[in-house]
Structure 1
Amino acid sequence: MNIAQHNRKAWDKKVDESAVYTMAVSKEMIEKSRNGEWEITVTTGKPVPRNWFPNSLKGKKILCLASGGGQQGPVLAAAGATVTVTDLSKKQLEKDEFVANRDGLTLNTVQGDMTDLSVFEDEVFDIIVHPVANLFVENISPVWKEASRVLKNKGILISGFTNPLLFIFDDEEDRKGNLVVKNSIPSSSFDHLTEDELVEYINAKHTIEFGHTLEDQIQGQVDAGFVIAGLYEDDFGGSRPLDKYIKSFIATKAVKLNID
């Protein structure tokens, strides 16, 4: 099956259902961003440190990668950046367009796959913001390589991703408050499903997700030409049982360095 096409439809469905990561930022937040009081997240709740960004975003070209939903892109545009938002889901991009029209912002939206940024030329962006999203692709190496290609030398990649420990537990039991180890890493949503369960899962338009190793997440960036310059962890805010024991999300700041 075409995983990207399936996940595009699944995210359109999430928009229709008003899922949390499809809720656009408020007009008040845009006004604060225009006045220099801005922040974004690439994980769940913890803001990206401001010192991960340049002192001023004016004139900076930022790609919000797999980042539709009217959240990061409009805030960064209001803060003065020249912003392009790309996402698989057209309905997610419509959220960014809604905020831009509502609040008089200029930003560009491009529907596409995070593993293929061929619509963009080499070394055109100063910063890439990539919130938790690469769990929706089976192979994340192309994501890092494409990000490196379109970033300028010394450009910044700010990424959020899942701690693979999140995926070793039975998701259904986890939501009941029980931590039951079931999966190995790497993993996928299809692991342990019977043929009938697989058909039901696909027909329900659930997102297809993959648990990637930390090596693929972090060393994968290094292999693509990045140096890791910052890291922090985040969790579900206490709403999931794993929060009592470990953080389920990681954010990294990486800098592209061309070495001749």
Structure 2
Amino acid sequence: MEIIKHNLDSWELKVKQKNQWTVPVSSEEIQNARMGDWSIIVTATKPVPKEWFPELSEKNVLCLASGGGQQGPVLAAAGANVTVLDFSESQLEQDRFVAERDSLPIRTVLGSMTDLSMFDSESFDLIVHPVSNLFVPDIQPVWQEAYRVLKSGGIMISGFMNPAFYLFDWEMEEKGILQVKHTLPYSELDYASEEEIVRTGVSLEFGHTLEQQMGGQIRAGFMIGGFYEDSFGGKRLLDRYANSFIATRAIKL
């Protein structure tokens, strides 16, 4: 099926529904960032450690598959030259809204995380890539392209799903039972027909293995120089037993 088109339609709907990842930051948060008081998340709840970032002033930052008016505007207010790439025009509109509201110079680009051909090699000092590669079946092109467009010594901060999250039966979890149902790597296409997926309208997700996530970054040429885990903040049953998110800090040597 047309995976990208299906997920694009899903995110356009999420913006209309004011999903939490589509709601822009406030003017107060932007003002605080201008004064040096800022943080962003690339997982669900835990802020990225401040020491993971380079000095942002005049640095070229790519917010990769990161529309929604959240990470990009904060980093721009902190002094970075920010480009936000996303496949959803509505998500990019959230960034443009904050940019106009708070007089921020943010560049928005419509495109896929797997193809950064619109950018020259070694264009960016920092890439911020919040949880989003679950929406593409093959993530190695994401890591390869990120490596290409980063400058030598550049940093990529990524958030992604712990593959263990995809092991369990979603319907049973809602009933308070964690029951293993799925194999890894996970694809919704293995458990539901194309007709069912289109009818429900939910995003089509792929649960990539740690070898594909972290090993893929290493194969692209990165050195992993930071790691932490995060949860849904107690909102999911799995939070009682394991973390569902991982964040890495990768360096282009």
Asked if Structure 1 and Structure 2 have the same fold, meaning a TM-score greater than 0.5 normalized by the shorter chain, the answer is yes
Percent identity, aligned pairs only, is: 57
2:247 to 237, 248, 251: 251
Aligned to 2:143: 144
The separation in 2 between residues aligned to 1:192 and 1:3, in whole angstroms, is 15
Alignment of 1:180-199 (within 5 A): 180-193=179-192, 195=193, 198-199=194-195
1:186-212 CA-partner distances (Å, limit 9, x unpaired): 11112222x4xx313213321110010
1:114-148 CA-partner distances (Å, limit 9, x unpaired): 00000101000000000000000000000000000
Q: Aligned letter for 2:248?
A: T
Gaps of 5+ in 1: none
Q: Aligned letter for 1:17?
A: Q
Alignment of 1:116-135 (within 5 A): 116-135=115-134
Aligned to 2:71: 72
Q: Aligned letter for 1:189?
A: E
Q: Is the 8 A contact 1:177 1:240 kept in 2?
A: no
2:213 to 214, 217, 227: 217
The separation in 1 between residues aligned to 2:96 and 2:172, in whole angstroms, is 38
| Deviation for aligned residue 1:174 | 1.9
Alignment of 1:159 onto 2:158: yes
Alignment of 1:242 onto 2:238: yes
Gaps of 5+ in 2: none
1:14-57 CA-partner distances (Å, limit 9, x unpaired): 10111111111111100000000010000001000000012x31
Worse overlay, 148-157 or 4-13 = 4-13
Aligned to 1:178: 177
| Deviation for aligned residue 1:171 | 1.6
Q: Aligned letter for 2:236?
A: R
Q: Aligned letter for 2:210?
A: L
The separation in 2 between residues aligned to 1:65 and 1:110, in whole angstroms, is 10
TM-score by length of 2: 0.98
Q: Aligned letter for 2:80?
A: A
Alignment of 1:32-43 (within 5 A): 32-43=32-43
Aligned to 2:91: 92
1:199-226 CA-partner distances (Å, limit 9, x unpaired): 1321332111001000000010000010
Q: Aligned letter for 1:151?
A: L
What secondary structure is seen at the aligned counterpart in 2 of 1:40?
Answer: coil
Q: Aligned letter for 1:216?
A: Q
The separation in 2 between residues aligned to 1:104 and 1:236, in whole angstroms, is 33
The separation in 2 between residues aligned to 1:100 and 1:204, in whole angstroms, is 34
1:214-256 CA-partner distances (Å, limit 9, x unpaired): 0000010000010000000000001111111111100000000
| Deviation for aligned residue 1:94 | 0.4
Q: Aligned letter for 2:94?
A: K
CA RMSD of aligned residues (A): 0.9
Alignment of 1:208 onto 2:204: yes
Q: Is the 8 A contact 1:126 1:155 kept in 2?
A: yes
Worse overlay, 128-137 or 165-174 = 165-174
Aligned to 1:23: 23
TM-score by length of 1: 0.95
> After the TM superposition, which segments of 4 or more aligned residues of structure 1 sit over 6 Å from their partners?
none
The separation in 2 between residues aligned to 1:16 and 1:79, in whole angstroms, is 28
Q: What is the aligned length? A: 253
Q: Is the 8 A contact 1:13 1:205 kept in 2?
A: no
The separation in 2 between residues aligned to 1:192 and 1:133, in whole angstroms, is 21
The separation in 2 between residues aligned to 1:173 and 1:106, in whole angstroms, is 46
What secondary structure is seen at the aligned counterpart in 1 of 2:84?
Answer: strand
